[in-house]
Structure 1
Amino acid sequence: MTTRRNFIKKTSFATAAIAATPSFGFHILKKPQPQETILGHGDYQYKLINDWAQVSSVRNPILNCHEMIMDRKGRLIMMGDNPKNNILIFDKSGKLLDYWGTAYPGGHGLSLSQEGEEDFLFLTDSGWFLNKYGKWTKHNGRITKTTTDGRVIFDIGHPQTIGIYKPGDSFCPTETAVGPNGDIYVADGYGMDYIIQYNHNGEYIRHWGGADNPDENYKLSNAHGVAIDYRDKNNPMVVCTSRNEQSFKWFTLNGKYVKTLHLPNMQVCRPVFNDNNLYAGVCWSQPKVGKTNWKDHTGFVTIIDGDKVVSNPGGTAPEYKGGILQKSYQLQDKPILHGHDVCVDEDKNLYICQWNANKTAPLKLERV
């Protein structure tokens, strides 16, 4: 069966052959076409579309694009930290359909919960935001469950109120995930680095992890993301980012450690699952020579099949030696500045949200 990718490749070769055919006594002047940028490796290659999002920087200004999900209607919903419009909703052509939300200056995480015939959103305000003087400022973080048009269902506030944090402990959540029974898993990625499990009503069940955990298996250092891995339908697991360790860690739904996947030189954000693949934005990496800081543009995207990295759009090709993954690096021309999140549509196209990317809208990577 001819796949869409094979069709595109074959037609590209045919076009090249026609262009190489000699002309007989006449010349056709063709306008030079801009060269396409193809990112990725192997079967996971993509055409970069920088101007996908049709959004006005005046009417709908963007500070940072943090995360994006696709609802059952096929709409692409983005969470950002500009309180003039925390939520932007696009169709797949990049047309802006709707926008709302002014109460989340630290807008960071966005997760989808499908309950019966209705979709709900879990919005995470990390508590960190840029004030009017351009300084990073901290307030109390929170989780809010809403309808897709912004009606608030309930909030989850500081864990001190239920006795699991001490006075003065920082709560700066970055992400949520919803389990198969409706349990809510909150990653306190900029706070105490715990994963906190609540039931579907927001009532506390347990927590685990922590930056100071003496058990290396349970230690989480910058627990930036959390998701549910349904690839084994009989054994769904909680997957947590330990970004400073350049790792993902798997746990049972009750918080028991299962395994770690180390990704050298990739400070990854949340894991995003689609079929057998795990996708993740790489917010930072280090160059082969010298060092960079957290503000420098050093990111890309990584794609994992099973437990093996198969493609790094915006980065160098994955390399294994003796079965061990070697370091990956950002491409020199920096087509992706900071990979913060990946959304995958039904055609396997990717939509990339970027942090600290000059206030730009999400990118599209069209599968080829």
Structure 2
Amino acid sequence: MTQRSTACSTHIDSRRTFLKTAGAAVAGSFFAPAILGADDKAGTKPPLVGEDAFQYEVTHGWGGTPKHIKWGETHGVCVDEAGLIYIKHRSRAKTPLDAIVVFDADGKFVRSFGKEYHGGGHGIDVRKEGNEEFLYLSDVKHGIVAKTSLTGEVVWKIGRPAAPAHYQDAKQRYSPTNIAFAPDGGFYVGDGYGSHYIHKYTSDGKPEFFWGGSGTEAGKMKTPHGMWLDTRDGTPKIAVCDRANHRLQYFSLDGKHLGFVNTVSFPADIDIQGDIMLVSDLHARVTLFDKQNQVITHLGYDQDWTNRVLDGFKIRTQPEQWEAGRFVHPHDACFDQAGNIFVTEWVSTGRISKLKKVS
């Protein structure tokens, strides 16, 4: 099983709040691994990030975008069994553009589709069911979740939930951000930009139950933005990016709170390969965790750079200020079969980075 995750600025905490969180982390178990290859004066070598067995060669601006696509904020990424990379972006162009763009492993354009999701592009995940793979799409503008073929043919679409009762109020926003897959063939939908509930559906899209709501206490969330089925210890559970609460929150498959992981800053989405959990963090870094959810390394992390990124969020619209080997606002990230990492960022021009594993 393979899974991958309006404006995020609505949910960004103040710089002061972040610096307090990040400062405490740095003082504890966190540290800023150096960017290797920094002495390449001519800039001919891609920078390396990470350390020990987790070093990656970084290529920013990966993928040859066709002329008919003008990147908006690149929100989601997933990889299918054939190694094709699917990017979901949110364009602000007046004329609808395809929201999903597909590349091969070398970054060559393959196809695009999904004009109906224009302006709402967000989460995208791929799942194999029997002998066929399907995309699961989250649309924050139109308030829908859709299941499609790998070329965009719609299997079903699900709109606004009927429960809890407050969804019956037209003023209550419903804005699904990402999906996690259940072992029984069903799936979970996070209303990350709406009422902060998580909804469980059957495999054919029928509602089963829900939990959550806005709050800071255990079981409550503020922006359940991305989710993932975590089976690394043998017991399936749902890991949720409880983003505005600066934590990951774990739940049983029936929605009971299990625990927290606090060594994150502003987590956006999750991917897992083997024993390694990958968390894209909107606060300028990508983090790898081991099986015990201990930090292995923060890829691209530097506190001074993070301070610049969070100072009014101006840099997200200033590509000329971006530094090689640094991230601005990672919104999603996923592994391919070879252990390489693709990162998509919430920046005005869109950006895809490929992190090629070198150790």
Is residue 60 of structure 1 aligned with residue 50 of structure 2? no
- Give the gaps of 5 or more residues in structure 1: 1-11, 13-30, 128-139, 285-298, 317-326
Q: Partners in 1 of 2:307 and 2:164 — Cα distance?
A: 46
Counterpart of 1:126 in structure 2 is: 140
For residues 196-345 of structure 1, the aligned pairs below 5 Å read: 196-212=199-215, 216-233=217-234, 235-264=235-264, 266-284=265-283, 299-306=284-291, 307-316=293-302, 330=306, 334=323, 335-345=326-336
Q: Partners in 1 of 2:331 and 2:61 — Cα distance?
A: 18
For residues 9-24 of structure 1, the aligned pairs below 5 Å read: none
Counterpart of 1:294 in structure 2 is: none
Tell me if the contact between 2:213 and 2:220 (Cα under 8 Å) persists in the aligned partners: yes
* AA matched with 1:257: H
TM-score of the pair, normalised by structure 1: 0.76
SS in 2 for 1:365: strand
Is residue 36 of structure 1 aligned with residue 46 of structure 2? yes
- Give the gaps of 5 or more residues in structure 2: 1-35, 309-321
Change (3 A) 1:217 1:329: farther
Change (3 A) 1:202 1:163: farther
Is residue 112 of structure 1 aligned with residue 126 of structure 2? yes
Q: Partners in 1 of 2:255 and 2:115 — Cα distance?
A: 34
Q: Partners in 2 of 1:161 and 1:259 — Cα distance?
A: 26
CA offset digits 1:20-45 (Å, max 9, x no partner): xxxxxxxxxxx956243111233212
Q: More helix per residue: 1 or 2?
A: 2
Q: Partners in 2 of 1:33 and 1:328 — Cα distance?
A: 21
Q: Partners in 2 of 1:144 and 1:301 — Cα distance?
A: 28
Identity of aligned residues (%): 28
* Displacement after TM superposition at 1:171 (Å): 0.5
**Which has the higher Rg, Structure 1 or Structure 2?**
1
Tell me if the contact between 1:226 and 1:238 (Cα under 8 Å) persists in the aligned partners: yes
CA RMSD in angstroms comes to: 2.5
* Displacement after TM superposition at 1:163 (Å): 5.0
Match of 1:366 among 352, 356, 359: 356
Would you identify which runs of 4 or more consecutive aligned residues in structure 1 move more than 6 Å?
A: none
* Displacement after TM superposition at 1:160 (Å): 3.4
Higher relative contact order (CA 8 A, sep 6+): 2
SS in 1 for 2:64: coil
Counterpart of 1:90 in structure 2 is: 103
* Displacement after TM superposition at 1:80 (Å): 1.1
Tell me if the contact between 2:268 and 2:280 (Cα under 8 Å) persists in the aligned partners: yes
Is residue 171 of structure 1 aligned with residue 174 of structure 2? yes
* AA matched with 2:331: H
Q: Partners in 1 of 2:224 and 2:342 — Cα distance?
A: 23
CA offset digits 1:152-185 (Å, max 9, x no partner): 1111111138857231321011001121111110
Q: Partners in 2 of 1:156 and 1:360 — Cα distance?
A: 27
Tell me if the contact between 1:315 and 1:328 (Cα under 8 Å) persists in the aligned partners: no
Tell me if the contact between 1:41 and 1:312 (Cα under 8 Å) persists in the aligned partners: no
* AA matched with 1:338: H
Is residue 155 of structure 1 aligned with residue 157 of structure 2? yes
SS in 1 for 2:162: helix
TM-score of the pair, normalised by structure 2: 0.78
Match of 1:351 among 329, 332, 342: 342
* AA matched with 2:263: L
